[in-house]
Amino acid sequence: MWPSVAGVFSIGLSFCGRSESTITDFVARGAFLGKSFLWEWGLRLVLMQSNFLILYFMSSPLTVEEAKAQVDAQTREMISWHFSPETGCPYWLDWAKRAGWDPREKVQGFADLLHFDNFDDEVLRKEDPARFIPRAFEGRPYNVFETGGTTGMPKQRIGWDDYKTDYTEFSEHYGPDFFPQGANWLMVGPTGPRRLRMAIEHLANIRGGACYFIDLDPRWVKRLIGMGEMQMAKVYQEHVIDQAVTILRHRDIQCLFTTPRLLESLSLRMSLADAGIRGVFAGGTTMTPQYVKFIQEEVLEGKINYAPTYGNTLMGLAISKKREVGEYSLTYYAPQPRAILRVVSPDDPREVVGYGEYGRVELTTMTKEFFMPRFLERDEAIRRPECEEFPWDGVGDVRPFQSGSKAVIEGVY
């Protein structure tokens, strides 16, 4: 089920730096001027109802070539930022001294990042996070974020505004009604030292709502499972769901962020549609096409908007492209140019695999706050081509690295 009113339309305008009110005006004027005007702007007109335009997901204003040029420009700018003594951080400046080459000279475009080896994420456990503070940001208070369900010393990343940028863009992508404007949110999932907790609250706030939280500690769940305490893990999950059900029953909540598994557990207790939920944003685990079908048809009863995403503390948020009715395979697109996903050969991670083939997911993050070249994720995915909304490569049917059988048939969805 797709949104019923103006949706991702705003993403193209956000590149132009327009505000939400400007967008609303634009919709009105666009409607008045008619369909052809809208198509010029790459908007997709779905249907008209009660004299109100029904829109969702717009084409990107960029061509494939322009998107590539944008990434190359971002690469040059971020390399210059992170490897200049005036702006860079101690970690990368020291790295450049040891490496014996100056990235500012060798790296003139994204392809030149192959001069870097794959980023070793152990660095994020071993190094003091303060060594990643860009000189230009010295003195500004910062957040320390940790990655998900690890045990032992966690991986840490510092940040200032990146999460706001990512989630503002996500919000604009889905427009005012997919997640109703002004509605309150409930997040059921890992909070604690995670970026996600602040990101969801930011998302709720910029859309005019407040956010309630129910915490789930994935480290404790991992430990319980490691100890063979499956029953206790189940009891803990029930404890989390109990709290979520209580909030949903006693507060006005219309939007939900959670993991697919918790979402399903919630739906076993109550009809989410009857509880007033209008939009669900989920991520954090593998979602096969069947999983998506199941969530949409049975968990959400075909009545609730569903936004599956792929992301983590190191990347931000990759949005899944719109799907046709009966299409359940997910393809995610990184928030370029701030982060770039490639699907590379497990045997030679310098090379991307062909379209339609599985390979390992490689992430490069390039913002002023954080630089991480060519990190090999513990996931594999199908390399998918650009689409109307995102003129760059996507990653499809993401699953844990080397977990799958090659016998999964593509194209039956």
Partner 1 sequence: MEIPILRLGEVYESADVVELNEKVATHTANPGLIRRDLLRVAEAKAALDAIPAENLADYCEAAAELFMNADLPCGDVLQGPDDYVESLSALTRLPHTLVRMNMGKIHAAMSQIRTVIGGLTRGMSLEIFDQGMTQVGDLAVNYYPVTSSLGVSLPSNAPAVNSLWLPALVMKIPVLLKPGREDPFTPLRIVQAMIQAGFPKEAFGYYPTTHEGGDTLLTSCGAGIAFGSDVTVRKYAPFPKIQVHGTGRSKVLIGEDYIDRWEEFIDVLVTSISANGGRSCINTSAILVPSHGEEIAEALAASLAEIRPLARDDADALLCGFANPAMAEGIDGMIESLLKEGGARDVTAAFRGGERKVEAFDQTYLCPTLVSCEGREHALANTEFMFPYASVVEMPQEEMLGSIGETLVVSAFTEDQSWIKELMLSPDIERLNIGAFPTNRVQWEQPHEGNLFEFLYHRRAIQGDLSGFS
Binding footprint of partner 1 on the chain (CB under 8 A): 228-231, 264, 268, 288-295, 298-299, 328-329, 405, 407-409, 412-413
Closest CA to 132 of 89, 83, 161, 163: 89
Going by C-beta distance under 8 Å and a sequence separation of 6 or more, which residues neighbour residue 394? 321, 331, 332, 333, 341, 383, 384, 385, 386, 387
**Shortest gap between Cβ of 162 and partner 1 (angstroms)?**
33
* Residue 46 CB coordination number (10 Å): 16
Closer of 112 and 327 to partner 1 (Cβ): 327
CB of 51 or CB of 405, closer to partner 1: 405
Nearer to partner 1, 252 or 298 (CB): 298
In the bound complex, what is the minimum distance in angstroms from residue 408's beta carbon to partner 1? 6
Minimum distance of partner 1 from residue 47's CB (angstroms): 26
372, 364 Cβ separation under 8 angstroms: yes
> DSSP code of 322?
P
Of the pair 63, 271, the CB lying nearest partner 1 is at: 271
Question: Measured from the CB atom, is 131 or 269 closer to partner 1?
Answer: 269
Minimum gap (Å) between residue 326 Cβ and partner 1: 9
Length of the chain: 413
Q: Two tokens at 182?
A: 């002004």
Nearer Cβ to partner 1 (139/228) = 228
Nearer to partner 1, 156 or 288 (CB): 288
Nearest to 350 by CA among 107, 115, 121, 95: 115
Q: What's the DSSP call for residue 119?
A: B
Closer to partner 1 by Cβ: residue 108 or 271? 271
Rounded Cα distance, 107 and 80, in Å: 9
Query: Smallest distance from the beta carbon of 116 to partner 1, in angstroms?
Result: 36
Between residues 49 and 403, which has the closer beta carbon with respect to partner 1?
403
Residue 277: count of CB within 10 angstroms of its CB: 24
Query: Shortest gap between Cβ of 329 and partner 1 (angstroms)?
Result: 8
d(CA 230, CA 227): 8
- One DSSP character per residue, 199-223 reads HHHHHHHHTT--EEEEE--HHHHHH
Rounded least distance, CB 153 to partner 1, Å = 29
Question: How near is the Cβ of 292 to partner 1 at its closest, in Å?
Answer: 7
**Closest distance between partner 1 and the C-beta of residue 290, in Å?**
4
Q: Residue 233, Cβ neighbours under 10 Å: how many?
A: 18
Provide the minimum distance between the beta carbon of 327 and partner 1 in the complex, in angstroms, as a whole number: 9
CA 40 to chain CA centroid, Å, is: 28
Strand order in 255-258's β-sheet? 211-215, 185-189, 255-258, 279-283, 305-312, 316-320, 331-333, 394-400, 371-384, 358-366, 339-344
Q: Which residues contact 199 (CB under 8 A, 6 or more apart)?
A: 163, 164, 166, 167, 317
Q: How far apart are CA 376 and CA 385, in angstroms?
A: 20
**Residue at 118: amino acid letter:** N
Q: What are phi and psi of 97, to 5 degrees?
A: -65, -45
Q: Considering the complex, state which of residue 197 and residue 323 has its C-beta at the smaller distance from partner 1.
A: 323
Give least dist CB 384 to partner 1, A: 17
Q: Smaller CB distance to partner 1: residue 33 or 408?
A: 408
| 300 and 256 Cβ atoms separated by less than 8 Å | no
